[in-house]
Structure formats: structure tokens, C-alpha cells
Amino acid sequence: MTAPEEDRMADAEQVVNVGIIGTGGMGRRHAHNLHRKVKGVEVAGVSDVDEVRMAQVATECSGACTFKDPYELISDERIDAVLIVSPDDTHADFVLACLEQRKPVLCEKPLATSSKEAQRIIDAETAIGRRLVAVGFMRRFDPCHVAVKEALELGALGRPVLFRGVHRNAGAQPGLPRHLIVGGSAIHDIDSARWLLQQEVVEVFGRGLRVDPALDEDFYDLLLIQLLLSGDCLGTIEVFVSARYGYEVMAEIVGSGGTATTTQPAPAMLRRLQQRSTSVHGDWLERFQEAYVLELEQWIQSLRGGRFQGASAWDGYISLLVARACVTSLESGRPETVQAPPPPQLYREEL
Ligand code: ISE
């Protein structure tokens, strides 16, 4: 990239050309959302190791350019900003390559697979001195979660004393990495607790169980984590990834003066045969579709000036530190302290 990205993005009318790395389920959804739902943006390039699905998504997005090499996409002059939706273990290297090019990047969670890798991103971004990295913790854009946060911020709940997160997936595949339930699933609830309460997690205590016998013996598909937060608040996170009936996420703040809980959005209530029922979402793509679009809209808007309101690289880094402490606690059977450093100036505004 020759011109600094502020110059490129200065014109509010200018179309932002986004390159997407990864065109699997989530990548394809982001590509469709950008192409069909977000104004002032073009899916200009896509990259994937699977050339068939890469070509298909490129066609679905009005003939975006295809890049076999993701690093070529990142450095291509026609690409203004990058969306990373590739496998988790590729995230850190791609984000660092975007920073080298001074290109804004929205990286799906997790920011990296270890806090050490995430630290390299923090170092690179602070050396640049500008926030270019956004992390896809999309619940921060979900209207139900935002309503809970607003109730708390308006003082309607009094002093917050407890965060409760419940997170259910329909099922998990055998052969998954042992701690994916922490780094892939619970990490969202860790971010929800920090973001809703604006407090840091200082101690965790986790227990796990394998429930589904089809899964590897050492894989926990049920997780219960207790949290202690910096503002004298407690927390519990329950993650169950073999829940069978569908996908559900709940976040609740209990306060000294009231409680706010996310609702489960459902299109209709059905009454028949002496029963009342609503449907449950099948997965996160259904449940959080609105949040994904709002997140992309705000990200694109932030590229034209202003600040991304979602998670920063610092949030991505801290969530990995807390996730690491959860894994250590699960392995040791003891509570684990989270050793989080204070944020550098660049990130010192809000969680
Ligand atoms: C998945 O990777 C996601 O990111 C979803 O948001 C989360 O709810 C799910 O548990 C993960 O497997």
C-alpha cells in the first residue's frame, strides 16, 4: 500500500474495497453480508486454500478477484481493508501482515491461538501508534446484549454483583482439539463478561466433563467456569457444546437493584395442541446474523473516520490470557490467577 489508509478512506463516498481470507461457512456469510447488506463496500478479493469454494464465493460477490496466496491479497493495492476468517492458527500471521501494510483488519475471534502471538500483534500495533486491528466478538453488536449493557450503564441494576453466561451449541465433532471449547466457545463469554461489566477477570476456576461418548475421551464438551472480576463481581460461564436441541446464548447481569438478561429472539410463538412453543436457532450464523451485519457496518463506517466500537486487539489479547488461565485451571483442578498487564496508552479508553 503506497498511500496511508487515512488518505484512502478520507472520502465518505468512497467505496471501501475489502479482501476476505477464508470462504468457509463464516467467511461466506461475511462475504454475503458485505456484498448484500452493507453500503459503500465492495468484496474486492477473496482467498482460500479451497479453490472451488473461493471461486464460488467470488462469483456470488459479483466477480471478486481470487488470490491463491493470502499474502498477495493483503499486499494488493486494490485492497483497502482485510477480513480474516481463516482457521484460527493462521490469524496472528495474517493480522501481522496487514499491520506491515498498514491496512485495517477485522479478524474473527480468536485473535491468535496463544497470548504470546497476540502480544506480537499488540507490540506491532502500538509501534504504529494507531488502532488498525478489530476483533470479531460480534455479541457486542447484538441488540439483546446491548440492551443489557445499557440497563447496567443507566444505573437500572444498581451495583453489578454477578455475570452469568450460558452458551450452548447443538453438537461437536469428534477429533477436535481438546481445549477448543475454551478458545473457540468460552472465549466469547469471557469477552461478554469483560465488556458488559467493564471489569477485568482476575481469577478463574474451571471444571469440565465429557458428556457425549462419541467425542474423544479427553475432550470436555461441558464446561463450568467461575470468575472473580476486578470490581468485586463474581461470574459463572456454562458452556455445553453437545446440547442437541439447538444453539442458545444467554448473558445476565445481576445487580444490587435489579437483573437484566438477554432474551432469546424468536420469530413467532406457536400455540397448538395445548402447547406453546417458539423455535430455537440452529447455530450462531442464524442467532447472530443481525449482529454480524451491524458489526460489519460499524467497522466499515470506522474506516472512514471515528473509532470501531467493537473489540480491539487488546480485548483479543486479554481474552486469550483469561482463556489460558481457564485451561490451566481445568488441568490443575485449582483456581488460577489471571496476570494481565495494564493496557498501553493506545488502548486506554474502554474495554
Ligand atoms: C463458534 O466458533 C463461534 O464463534 C460461535 O459464536 C460460538 O457460539 C460457538 O460456540 C463456536 O464454536
- Measuring from atom 9 of ligand 1, which residue has the nearest CA? 185
Atom nearest to 239 CA in ligand 1? 10
- Dist. CA 284 → ligand 1 center (Å): 6
Please state the atom number of ligand 1 nearest to the C-alpha of residue 109: 4
Which residue is closest in CA terms to ligand 1's atom 6?
A: 284
Q: How far apart are CA 321 and CA 331, in angstroms?
A: 16
- Over residues 171-203, the pLDDT tens digits come to 999 999 898 999 999 999 999 999 999 999 999
Q: Name the nearest CA neighbour of 106 among 42, 13, 18, 201.
A: 18
Residue nearest ligand 1's atom 10 by CA: 185
List the pLDDT tens digit at each of the 351 positions of the chain: 334 445 445 566 789 999 999 999 999 999 999 999 999 999 999 999 999 999 999 999 999 999 999 999 999 999 999 999 999 999 999 999 999 999 999 999 999 999 999 999 999 999 999 999 999 999 999 999 999 999 999 999 999 999 999 999 999 999 998 989 999 999 999 999 999 999 999 999 999 999 999 999 999 999 999 999 999 999 999 999 999 999 999 999 999 999 999 999 888 999 999 999 999 999 999 999 999 999 999 999 999 998 999 999 999 999 999 999 999 999 999 999 999 999 999 999 755
The best mutation among 88, 188, 223 to test binding of ligand 1, ranked by most ligand atoms within 8 Å of the C-beta, falls on 188
DSSP-derived letter for residue 251 is E
CB 105 within 8 A of CB 84: yes
User: Torsion angle, CA of 228/230/231/233, rounded to 10 degrees?
Assistant: -10
185 Cα–ligand 1 center, Å: 5
Alpha carbons within 13 angstroms on the beta-carbon side of residue 314 total: 19
Angle at 136 between CA 192 and CA 151, to 5 degrees: 35
Ligand 1 center from residue 127 Cα (angstroms): 32
Cα-to-centroid distance, 283 and ligand 1 (Å) = 8
pTM of the model: 0.95
Question: Which of 26, 113, 137, 169 for a ligand 1 pocket mutation test, highest count of atoms within 8 Å of Cβ?
Answer: 169
Q: Which atom of ligand 1 is nearest to the CA of 108?
A: 4
The string of DSSP codes covering 55-93 is HHHHHHTTS-EEESSHHHHHH-TT--EEEE-S-GGGHHH
Pairing state of beta strands 201-209 and 222-229?
A: antiparallel
Going by alpha carbons, the residue nearest to atom 11 of ligand 1 is 185
Please state, in angstroms and rounded to a whole number, the distance separating the CA atoms of residues 3 and 289. 34
CA of 37 to the centre of ligand 1 (A): 22
**Ligand 1, atom 2: closest residue by C-alpha:** 184
Between CA 108 and CA 83 the distance in angstroms is 8
Measured in Å, residue 184 CA sits from the centre of ligand 1 at 6
> What is the number of the ligand 1 atom nearest to the C-alpha of 241?
10
